[in-house]
Amino acid sequence: MNFFSVPIPLCLCVSVVAFSFSSCGINKEVHQKALADLTKAKDADIKKERERAGTCGKDRDACEKTRDALDKKLKGLTARASEIDEQNRACDDDRVKLKQQVAALDAKLVAQTDKLNEAHVGTAKLKERESELAEALAKERATHDNLLKSLKAEIDAGKIEVVNLRGVLTVKLKDKILFDSGKVKLKSEGQEALKKLAEVLTTVKDKQFQVQGHTDNIKIRGNVKWPTNWELSAARAAAVVRFLAENGVEPQNLSAAGLAEFQPVAANDTEDGRRENRRIEIILVPRVATLINK
């Protein structure tokens, strides 16, 4: 390091100058004046240095305060940034959950919409079915009324009865007007009643006609041709079917069944009861194709 580059204190300079003046034989007054000037300059420099030192100290204190304030603010901002990051992560989690909830709600909405559409379809089908049933009921009533009107004389005479059994129109014919005891040949009185009935049945287009033969519980004895009431009731039903087909009723709409004594409508322990049980019933049932289509 260069020696002359190092600042020399002013007091040292004054001492050196004083020594120099005394050793050189300079006038004392001049010497004292120069010394006073140097001292004054020294004091001014010292004062300036002190003022500058004080200013630097104040500036340093202010800088330290500013630095502390900035550090504190930086810590606050860092903490706030951490909070914001945490909030962002929470928002991201909430966003994922919301997307999942929206997807679940969409799926539920689709399912509810499908159910609602099915309900609408079911309601439409139900209304259609109600309309069909109303139409069928109207036809049933019309057929019933037509039977009553066309067979009024026979009904009034007690030969024929038109009833609704379990929602099915049924025409009941007394055994006494159709067959002699133990026989399957139709009597003339019964043929006349069946002709009138055939005229009405030919106008019924949406039904099939099952002819059922019924007997009382009296056992058949000594009849080789009709050993039991099964055979007798079936043969009588077949005779009625054949007669109706010969008088205009479509054969494909006819069927015969023998039920013997096993579906009585009255007790068999009296003659009147047994008379009620000996009968032919013609059941008007919907066509099989119509039932399948429903």
Mean pLDDT of the chain: 85
Would you state the structure tokens that stand for residue 159, as one six-digit string? Answer: 């030969």
Tokens standing for residue 157:
């005479």
Give the length of the chain.
294
Task: Give the orientation angle of helix 28-150 with respect to helix 10-24, to 10 degrees.
Answer: 170
Which of 67-71, 98-102, 198-202 is modeled with the greatest confidence?
Answer: 198-202
pLDDT digits (tens, 9 = 90+) for 237-284: 999 999 999 999 999 999 999 999 999 999 999 999 999 999 999 999
Q: What is the pTM of this model?
A: 0.58
Tokens linked to 146: 């037509």
Q: Where are the domains of the chain?
A: 150-293
Q: pLDDT tens for residues 139-185?
A: 888 888 888 898 898 899 888 999 988 778 999 998 889 999 889 99
Tokens of 189: 């009185």
Which helix or strand (DSSP H or E) is residue 60 part of? helix 28-150
H or E element that contains 168: strand 168-174
d(CA 282, CA 262): 17
Residues in CB range of 248: below 8 A, 6 or more apart:
198, 199, 202
Query: Tell me, what DSSP letter sits at residue 200?
Result: H
Looking at the predicted structure, is the pLDDT value of residue 26 above 70? no
Residue with tokens 């069944």: 257
What is the reported pLDDT for 9?
53
277 residue type, one letter:
N
Block residue for tokens 């991201």: 92
CATH superfamily membership of 150-293: OmpA-like domain (3.30.1330.60)
